[in-house]
Structure 1
Amino acid sequence: MCSLSQAILPLMKVKVDGSSMGAKEPRAPLKVFIDLYLSIGSHDEWLTSLIEKAKQWKGLLHLYCNKLSIFALSVQNMKVLKMVRLYSVQDLELVCNWKLSVLGKLLSLLPYMGKLHRLFLSQTQMSQCSSWEEEEQFVETFSSQLLSLHHLQELHLESISSLEGSLCSLLRCLRSPLKILSLTNCLLLESDLMNLSKCPNTRQLRGLCLNRVILMDISSETLEALLENVSSTLQVLSLEECGIMNLQLTAILPALRHCSQLTTFSFSGNPISINVLLRVVRHTIGLTNLRRVRYPAPLEFYEHVGDGLLATLQAKLMQMLQELGRSDMEWLSGKPCPHREWPFSDLWPMPW
């Protein structure tokens, strides 16, 4: 498959003679399909040429974009956005450290993206100066924009400080059932998770990520209800670095065992003992679709660092799986310290 520059640059050499077009049939616009990555200084030569040509041709060159990633709001990037047929965007990524008010203005573009399937929103640096009123206004604005997204299937929110106590406002504005919901490094209350378990449009989730969402103060009953409501469809579950302890994990094992479609489960970075880890093995052994599990280095490891305990445990797990007829399962050990070496995007069974 040729590169975008190879495909587009030859087309740019086509001449449009405006003086002779009056006697001819109007020329059909040239459609150019591109993926855009907009950051500071991200424009290469071919994109700059494309923008200039689009200006010159005045409506005879239409830019379509399937995947749009925005990392900076420069004047040049805003000019590019004005040229793109926003209704063609299906995958939008916004990674920013802007003020909530600026981010809210950018989200006002969402109603023009009616075909959007995937939305990834990340605040790389949580604003320390946002007032309560600004956070409330942001949630209200974001929620109202979601009302126009009738085809949204994936929602990924990372480090969004204003979600605490406001998740219900977002969830009730969903217009279609989600396949994937990822809430990473967000502050959530128990009421948020209770609303998540009750929302009709999150009951058919195939993927659920709550990585680095502190769950130690969330009741086991709430977590159980959340898992039970998605048990018939859930394929990927990630609960990394959530502060889940022995009692909580043990309590949700029966609900986890009902997730018959589960293929991948990660709970690394949580303070779990060896005994509870072995209990997880016994409870999940009957999940015939489960192939990949990521578990934490157990608490006992910290008392005996360097004596080969982790390698011994890994060997024991492999032996257990073989004896139980599940040599097709892959159990991977996490590092002793929380680490982001296993990106959530790598967990999904492809294609959807």
Structure 2
Amino acid sequence: MVRSLVSLCAREVVSDESSSPCWLRWVPRELYRPLLEAAFASSRPLAVGELVQRWPERSLRVGGRKKQGQTAPSRLCIQALLLAVVRGLSDHNALQLLDLCGLRGDEGGMGDSMGGWSLTVALCTMVVQARAGLQRAQRREGERERKRFSALEREKDVKRERGKWKRGKEANGDEGSAESEELGGNNTDNMGVFGMLGEEEMMTGVRRRMEMERKREIGVGGSGKEVEERDVNSDVLVYVRADLFVNARSWERVRVALSTPGPLKLQCRYLRVEEISVSRIRALLDLLPHQGLLGIDVRYSNLGVAGLAELLPLLSNFPVLNSVRLHYCNLDFRRDLPGQEEALRELSLALAKLQGLQRLSLTALRLPGQLRVLLSLPKALEILELPYLSLSPADLAYLSCSHHASSLQQLDLSENRLNENTLPSIRRLLSQASGTLQHLSLSGCGLTDSLLGLLLPSLGGCLALKSLALGLNPLSMAGLKDLVRMAARMPSLRHLLYPNPLEDYQPGLPELPSSAQLLDWPLD
């Protein structure tokens, strides 16, 4: 990749971090962005902090899609960024929106980047620290206000005593005209000073009364919550948008950060939760702003059918939500248990209220025969992921005839066993999606040479297909050759995942091995 002259010069400028306070005063605002990118690329946390603390624009976006060859910012640079945002609050810089959506490295990887879990904890700490800093500033301001009020009270007492002394003197007639004039001139000057102090005191009293009236309004009736929300938002100086990763260890920190009023307000684009109960997920959703949440990803949480039926109606409060992902949430549907049918109907009604849903991912939910209920959506899906779902022939038949089939761009049916009975439904589904389907995964579906041979014409008709995954299927070398010949004729295909041929395994492999056996069996 050829770098521009501005990029090369920016790298040279930020290379000497000790001089950044000197040259920043001369930098025009249009060069802040390339300098910040150079500071991230060169891992210069001091330069990052100086630039962000003086950021001249209303918004700052760090993250999103990476350019070719671009790496995630280092942990030190991200920490410097967050610290500079808090410091910039007192400097009254122009920043009003910090967008960190998509900013995350590989958690636990070899690099020094900050993963999504660590970034979430750091953001919550930043929000709480900003609130604590504001409280300290308010205490200092209150102490100064108290001292000013005490000075006014003392001046008022002095004025009262002098007035009494003057009236006593006039009553006794002890003062001469010259002395009276002199004293009168001094009193005039003093009255001017006292008048100015009295005016300042009056302004302070008016502010105090307004504050007391505002607090009384907040505490009255049902409209108090609306007043309080308006007051909280009026105190916000910078909105922070990010993808939040929440588990059992970080849940309390995230809850405190979302419910803490202050100069920084945390907003969420995508929410991913793991190993959290339904009640805690519900509490998080109640705290999130309704505008802006695009997706929710729930993993390894013991929801059950009843828990999911309780959770899904809450998602209809988020008007732009377009992605719901549920992975390993223990949804084992059993008709012999009381209340299961009713919970399933509630689940279907809740899903139907998600008007903007474009992506639905359901992994290992064990709901055979219930796909019609799960896909009763008003709008056709573009991404449908159903791995490990134990799909029945009736499920696949419904999917092939549903309104989703002709709109699918990505389809994952991995680890759903296919056979001669389900193959016609798969071929019909591929025919319906031939003009739109770009990504298809049929890994671990038990496709043999004969089944694949029947399926290849339908696969070849998907002219928009860019990636095809057929791993962990029991195919011989002859079947793989037929697959490769078909793939070579597909104009858009860029990625093909194929299994090891059966000839590569050591002897003893069953005649029709499962995907788990193919994964564990030693190769020759």
Which TM class, normalised by the smaller chain length?
A: 0.7 to 0.9
Q: Residue 370 of structure 2 corresponds to which residue in structure 1? A: 166
What RMSD, in angstroms, separates the aligned Cα atoms of the two structures? 3.2
Matching of residue 194 in structure 1 with residue 397 in structure 2: yes
- Taking the aligned partners of 2:324 and 2:281, their CA distance within structure 1 comes to 19
Q: Residue 297 of structure 2 corresponds to which residue in structure 1? A: 93
Q: Residue 481 of structure 2 corresponds to which residue in structure 1? A: 278
Quick one: which of 239, 248, 257 aligns to 1:40?
A: 248
1:194 to 1:130, Cα distance in 2 relative to 1, 3 A: closer
Q: CA deviation at 1:63?
A: 5.0
1:288 to 1:335, Cα distance in 2 relative to 1, 3 A: farther
> Which has the larger helix fraction?
2
- Taking the aligned partners of 1:261 and 1:114, their CA distance within structure 2 comes to 31
Task: Show structure 2 runs of 5+ residues with no match.
Answer: 1-61, 63-80, 83-122, 143-206, 215-226, 509-514
Q: Secondary structure at the match of 2:309?
A: helix
- Taking the aligned partners of 2:249 and 2:281, their CA distance within structure 1 comes to 9
Q: Secondary structure at the match of 2:297?
A: strand
Q: Secondary structure at the match of 1:208?
A: strand
| Mapping of residues 1-352 of structure 1, within 5 Å | 1=62, 2-3=81-82, 4=123, 8-9=127-128, 11-12=130-131, 13-14=133-134, 19=208, 20-21=210-211, 28-29=233-234, 30=236, 31-43=239-251, 47=254, 49-51=256-258, 53-54=260-261, 64-71=267-274, 72-73=276-277, 78-95=282-299, 96-125=301-330, 127=332, 131=336, 134-162=339-367, 164-171=368-375, 173-216=376-419, 218-303=421-506, 337-338=518-519
Q: CA deviation at 1:116?
A: 1.0
- Taking the aligned partners of 1:237 and 1:81, their CA distance within structure 2 comes to 32
Q: CA deviation at 1:302?
A: 2.3
Q: Secondary structure at the match of 1:338?
A: helix
Q: CA deviation at 1:134?
A: 4.7
Q: CA deviation at 1:147?
A: 1.5
Paired residues in the alignment total 303
Q: CA deviation at 1:216?
A: 2.6
- Taking the aligned partners of 1:51 and 1:180, their CA distance within structure 2 comes to 30
> Which one-letter code corresponds to 2:519 in the other structure?
P
1:87-135: CA deviation from partner (whole Å, max 9, x where unpaired): 4321101122233222321222122122111110123546497845554
Look at both structures and tell me which one has the larger radius of gyration over its CA atoms: 2
TM-score relative to the length of structure 1: 0.75
- Taking the aligned partners of 1:168 and 1:128, their CA distance within structure 2 comes to 14
- Taking the aligned partners of 1:155 and 1:49, their CA distance within structure 2 comes to 30
Q: Residue 87 of structure 2 corresponds to which residue in structure 1? A: none
- Taking the aligned partners of 2:507 and 2:280, their CA distance within structure 1 comes to 56
TM-score relative to the length of structure 2: 0.52
> Which one-letter code corresponds to 1:136 in the other structure?
E
